[in-house]
């Protein structure tokens, strides 16, 4: 039983509105973190389309519900006021209640039929929550392998859920999807270096920083010093290598999911293009994927996957 400070517990009968949860979910200008319109607006700011228009309606609804959960989980771990670990416990408890139809959060209520209809296991959702628990305890990563371990909780589960929604999950596809998702997570870490440093978090591996003579103070500068730019350039190439798994993954799929996967990888590649155009200055420039560049990357990825499938 986990106490969350409101006189109620996560075991047996914790329901919204609870004073702590309501305060934590409230936005400064009104509304709530878990409001559908808030989550839909945030989906438009991602590096890639969350639910491609090429997909059938049921798959689009499912992917938006999964995104809503992942986004809310991250927001609780990054932005919520109060005891974030307790709030993540609350979210996990609401997830467990979803199977019985007793969820209280609008996000989990939307997710419940998706879990049922697509026969999704709860383990990937639990992993996303655990990644945000890690964010409350771990603020530095020694080597890239340590960061990958984190990404296997924070990003890979989403790709595995996507494969399950497409009903195409196999060990080979999961391995490729994991690489793509780790690559996408690394892209976000590069884009958010300054923001994360302001929160006291450094996702760039300490060993990589030491290799380029990059200090933590460099991460807080108005524009990226040379050492940081060199570090970012190396991580950009690392991310591109991971995202390249998108072509063989997409090649193994039917046209609609192939287009969606090509789009996911294209968003990451287009964001990396933006970082390179900025001279790897991720502090002085907002490095977001440009629409035309994204479209070109998505088309080339789809064509490459289709040609690869035709040769296999």
User: CATH number of the domain that 188 lies in?
Assistant: 1.10.600.10
Residues 176 and 115 in one domain: no
The answer to the question of residue 146 being in a domain is no
- Judged by average pLDDT, the poorest of 42-56, 151-165, 211-225 is 42-56
Residues 192 and 279 in one domain: yes
The answer to the question of residue 161 being in a domain is yes
Residues 38 and 184 in one domain: no
Q: Which of 137, 170, 195 is the last residue of a domain?
A: 137
Position 49 pLDDT exceeds 90: no
* Per-residue pLDDT, 48: 78
The answer to the question of residue 2 being in a domain is no
Which of 312, 98, 298, 171 is CA-nearest to residue 163? Answer: 171
Query: 190-204 burial, b for 16+ CB within 10 Å, e for fewer?
Result: bbbbbebbeeebbbb
Q: Which of 137, 160, 189 is the last residue of a domain?
A: 137
Residues 185 and 238 in one domain: yes
Q: How far apart are CA 171 and CA 63, in angstroms?
A: 21
Residue pLDDT, tens place only, 156-180: 999 999 999 999 999 999 999 999 9
The answer to the question of residue 49 being in a domain is yes
The answer to the question of residue 1 being in a domain is no
Residues 84 and 157 in one domain: no
Position 19 pLDDT exceeds 60: no
* Per-residue pLDDT, 6: 36
The answer to the question of residue 6 being in a domain is no
Residue predicted with more confidence, 30 or 207: 207
Residues 21 and 118 in one domain: yes
Residues 120 and 222 in one domain: no
- Judged by average pLDDT, the poorest of 102-111, 148-157, 194-203, 270-279 is 102-111
Which of 195, 219, 201, 181 is CA-nearest to residue 286? Answer: 195
Q: How far apart are CA 249 and CA 247, in angstroms?
A: 5
* Per-residue pLDDT, 27: 60
What's the number of domains the chain is made of? 2
Residue pLDDT, tens place only, 233-271: 999 999 999 999 999 999 999 999 999 999 999 999 999
* Per-residue pLDDT, 229: 98
Domain that holds residue 155: 151-312
Which of 69, 242, 79 is CA-nearest to residue 157? Answer: 69
Give DSSP secondary structure letters for 111-151.
Answer: HHHHHHHTT--SHHHHHHHHHHHHHHH----SSHHHHHHHH
Residues 92 and 114 in one domain: yes
E strands within 225-290?
none
- The β-bridge partners of 3 are 9
Residue pLDDT, tens place only, 68-109: 999 999 999 998 888 899 999 999 999 999 878 888 888 999
Position 28 pLDDT exceeds 70: no
Q: How many helices (H) and strands (E) does the chain have?
A: 15, 0
Residue range 118-134: average pLDDT?
A: 98
Residues 294 and 180 in one domain: yes
Q: How far apart are CA 57 and CA 54, in angstroms?
A: 9
Residues 305 and 184 in one domain: yes
Residue range 222-227: average pLDDT?
A: 98
Q: Is the dihedral of CA 213, 218, 222, 228 positive or negative?
A: positive
The answer to the question of residue 4 being in a domain is no
Residues 61 and 207 in one domain: no
The answer to the question of residue 9 being in a domain is no
Residues 155 and 303 in one domain: yes
Q: Which of 137, 168, 193 is the last residue of a domain?
A: 137
Phi and psi dihedrals of 3, rounded to 5?
A: -80, 140
């Amino acid at each position: 039983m986990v106490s969350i400070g409101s006189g109620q517990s996560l075991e047996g009968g914790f329901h919204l509105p609870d004073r702590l949860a309501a305060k934590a979910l409230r936005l400064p200008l009104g509304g709530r973190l878990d409001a559908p319109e808030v989550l839909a607006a945030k989906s438009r700011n991602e590096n890639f389309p969350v639910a491609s228009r090429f997909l059938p309606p049921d798959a689009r609804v499912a992917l938006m519900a999964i995104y809503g959960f992942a986004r809310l989980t991250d927001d609780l771990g990054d932005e919520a006021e109060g005891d974030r670990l307790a709030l993540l416990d609350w979210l996990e408890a609401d997830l467990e209640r979803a199977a019985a139809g007793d969820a209280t959060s609008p996000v989990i209520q939307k997710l419940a039929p998706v879990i049922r209809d697509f026969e999704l296991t709860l383990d990937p959702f639990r992993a996303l929550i655990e990644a945000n628990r890690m964010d409350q305890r771990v603020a530095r990563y020694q080597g890239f392998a340590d960061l990958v371990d984190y990404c296997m909780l924070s990003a890979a589960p989403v790709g595995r859920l996507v494969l399950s929604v497409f009903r195409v999950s196999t060990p080979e596809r999961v391995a490729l999807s994991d690489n793509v998702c780790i690559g996408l997570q690394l892209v976000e870490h590069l884009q958010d270096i300054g923001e994360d440093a302001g929160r006291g978090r450094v996702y760039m591996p300490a060993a990589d920083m030491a290799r380029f003579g990059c200090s933590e103070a460099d991460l807080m500068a108005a524009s990226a010093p040379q050492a940081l730019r060199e570090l970012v350039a190396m991580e950009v190439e690392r991310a591109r290598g991971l995202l390249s798994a998108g072509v063989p993954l997409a090649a193994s799929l039917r046209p609609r999911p192939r287009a969606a996967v090509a789009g996911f990888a294209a968003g990451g590649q287009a964001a990396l293009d933006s970082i390179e155009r900025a001279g790897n200055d991720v502090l002085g420039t907002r490095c977001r994927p440009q629409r035309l560049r994204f479209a070109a990357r998505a088309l080339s990825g789809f064509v490459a996957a289709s040609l690869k499938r035709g040769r296999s």
